[in-house]
């Protein structure tokens, strides 16, 4: 059994001795923070609408007690901190990796703190797209630079890439499907044939002994 993208708890993976997990290296999770840092340094006024020198953000997390969500949150904020970007978390909410819950969350938050939101950090693109759909219903992220909230996500979905090209979404972490496909195929074939999953490869398990991390 191979888990990928959504990392279960370690104990759940180890319940079955022929289970492994394949996902992005945690260092890749900080790229969202790097994207925001680059934009902050290059064109601060595009984000810092109230000119207070602080990045006010809303965080859309995948789900509670999920390792992938925790890492994507941790390393995104850490990257901003290490770049000495001052931040203020306005809200942190769970949107369960889904577009519609994210849309509903942002619709509700916008009524309460809309003018204060400068950035939305989403643990994946589905939630980022839901957030943008909600913002657009309020007249934001439609092309007017004065009415734009920076949104970042993870996955590099085609719809996200289109919005990025149009300037309606700041960025995403692109997950190379060919690299993932390759490691899934090789480890699967090794396991089917009773070999060590990483036999004959350059991949390595991390300290857990059951997780393979690949860099973007």
**pLDDT tens digits for range 29-87:** 678 999 999 999 999 999 999 999 999 999 999 998 888 888 899 999 999 999 999 99
User: Strand order of the sheet with strand 87-94?
Assistant: 87-94, 55-61, 119-122, 150-155, 171-174
Q: 133 lies in which domain range?
A: 27-174
Q: Indicate if 187 and 93 belong to the same structural domain.
A: no
Q: Indicate if 165 and 193 belong to the same structural domain.
A: no
167 within 8 A of 146, measured Cβ to Cβ: no
Backbone angles phi, psi at 11, to 5 degrees: -60, -35
Q: Residue 139: which CATH number?
A: 3.40.50.2300
pLDDT tens for each residue of 97-115? 999 999 999 999 999 999 8
Query: Which pLDDT band holds residue 26 (cuts at 50, 70, 90)?
Result: low
Q: Indicate if 162 and 192 belong to the same structural domain.
A: no
Q: How far apart are the first and last CA of the chain?
A: 23
């Amino acid at each position: 059994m191979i888990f990928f993208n959504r990392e279960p708890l370690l104990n759940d993976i180890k319940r079955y001795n022929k289970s492994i997990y394949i996902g992005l290296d945690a260092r890749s999770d900080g790229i969202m923070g790097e994207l925001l840092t680059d934009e902050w340094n290059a064109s601060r006024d595009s984000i810092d609408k109230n000119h207070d020198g602080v990045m006010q953000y809303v965080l859309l997390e995948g789900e509670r007690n999920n390792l992938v969500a925790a890492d994507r949150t941790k390393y995104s904020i850490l990257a901003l901190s290490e770049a000495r970007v001052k931040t203020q978390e306005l809200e942190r909410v769970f949107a369960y990796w889904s577009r519609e819950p994210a849309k509903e969350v942002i619709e509700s938050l916008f009524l309460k703190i809309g003018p204060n939101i400068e950035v939305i950090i989403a643990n994946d693109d589905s939630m980022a797209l839901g957030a943008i759909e909600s913002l657009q219903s309020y007249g934001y992220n439609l092309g007017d630079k004065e009415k734009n909230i920076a949104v970042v996500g993870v996955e590099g979905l085609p719809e996200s890439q289109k919005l990025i090209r149009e300037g309606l979404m700041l960025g995403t972490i692109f997950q190379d499907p060919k690299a993932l496909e390759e490691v899934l195929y090789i480890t699967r074939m090794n396991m089917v044939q009773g070999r060590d999953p990483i036999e004959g490869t350059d991949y390595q398990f991390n300290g857990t002994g059951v997780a393979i991390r690949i860099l973007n």
